[in-house]
Structure 1
């Protein structure tokens, strides 16, 4: 087969372009992360029917009790059925999906105001998780969370929906798990 200079150039361009067309595999963000303000530790883990999504749970709060000495509850939640649930252990990252940029995107819940935001999370450096939340698609803010390997006093350590563990919202709970508290 004779290769012309044009054919050779096209073949070379194809070889250079192919790697950029491949979808970047996101770095697994699973772990315990301290929020930038130091008020909470969030456990990030795989979830969903195929275990390919990312969910996150508040497993430690700097101030777990309210002014009356009772556990804080999610009283600002727009779902009346969830307003009495404890803030410690609730799900806040909702089944993020991998995107073509090697990041995860979806929704995050802010218990401080009872609102959901678009969120993208990714990890470019070991021990750091970048979290970018947006409202209306253009009003955005970013934080960097720090990975924690130690155990904080009062931190939930059990499996999701298990003893001393956080609770998945019903739509993200492992199938066949009767222990879903937030259904």
Structure 2
């Protein structure tokens, strides 16, 4: 095959571009992260139908109780239906998507003021997660979260929407596996299976019972 100068140049550009494309693949940020102010631990994990999004949940709070000694609730949430939910375990990172820069971007919820912000997260160093939030597209601030592998007292450790686990918002809740659901719902079979074509054995018929003849009666005229 003859290569023209233009074809060769394009091929060279493609080879040069390959490393940059590989570098754009985002590092998986899954794990438990301590916020920069030390007030919460956030569990970050894959979510969505294809597990290509990123969700995050508050699995530990430095101050889990309010002034009355009761569990803190999300009373500033703009959705009235969520204002009575517990602050511990609520979802705050809303299905971020990977972008062309090797980062994840989307929305983050701040329970302290009940507002949503544009957010971008990425990890460039082992054990560190960079979080950049913006309001109105230009008022931005950045934090660095530290990865934690130990368990703090009161930290949620169960699966999302499971026992002792955080709670996903409805649109990001884990979907049940249809195969598992069907298997769980199928009736169990017990006993031996009759081989195909086996002759059906009928129970023997009971012999007809004999009715005893009535005893002869004495003739009253005798």
Query: Normalised by the size of structure 2, how large is the TM-score?
Result: 0.75
Q: Which moved more, 1:11-20 or 1:108-117?
A: 11-20
Distance 2:57 2:66 in 1: 19
Superimposed CA distance per residue, residues 37-69 of structure 1 (whole angstroms, 9 cap, x where no aligned partner): 000000000111111110000000000000000
- RCO higher in structure (CA 8 A, sep ≥6): 1
Number of aligned residue pairs: 182
Q: Quick check: 1:93 aligned with 2:114?
A: no
The structure-2 alpha-carbon separation of the partners of 1:9 and 1:172, relative to structure 1 and needing over 3 Å to count, comes to closer
* Structure 1 position 24, deviation (Å): 1.8
The structure-2 alpha-carbon separation of the partners of 1:181 and 1:78, relative to structure 1 and needing over 3 Å to count, comes to farther
Superimposed CA distance per residue, residues 71-128 of structure 1 (whole angstroms, 9 cap, x where no aligned partner): 0000000000000000000000000011111111100000000000000000000000
- Given that residues 162 and 179 in structure 1 are in contact (C-alpha distance below 8 angstroms), is that contact kept between their aligned partners in structure 2? no
Structure 2: segments with no counterpart, 5+ residues: 183-222
- Given that residues 168 and 180 in structure 1 are in contact (C-alpha distance below 8 angstroms), is that contact kept between their aligned partners in structure 2? no
Q: Which moved more, 1:152-161 or 1:12-21?
A: 12-21
3-state SS of 2:7 partner:
helix
Distance 1:107 1:62 in 2: 23
When you count strand as a share of all residues, which structure comes out higher?
1
Distance 1:12 1:106 in 2: 35
* Structure 1 position 140, deviation (Å): 0.5
Aligned-pair Cα RMSD in Å: 3.7
Structure 1: segments with no counterpart, 5+ residues: none
Distance 2:8 2:31 in 1: 47
**1:124-139 superposed matches below 5 A:** 124-139=124-139
* Structure 1 position 9, deviation (Å): 4.8
* Structure 1 position 16, deviation (Å): 1.9
Query: Normalised by the size of structure 1, how large is the TM-score?
Result: 0.90
* Structure 1 position 174, deviation (Å): 1.1
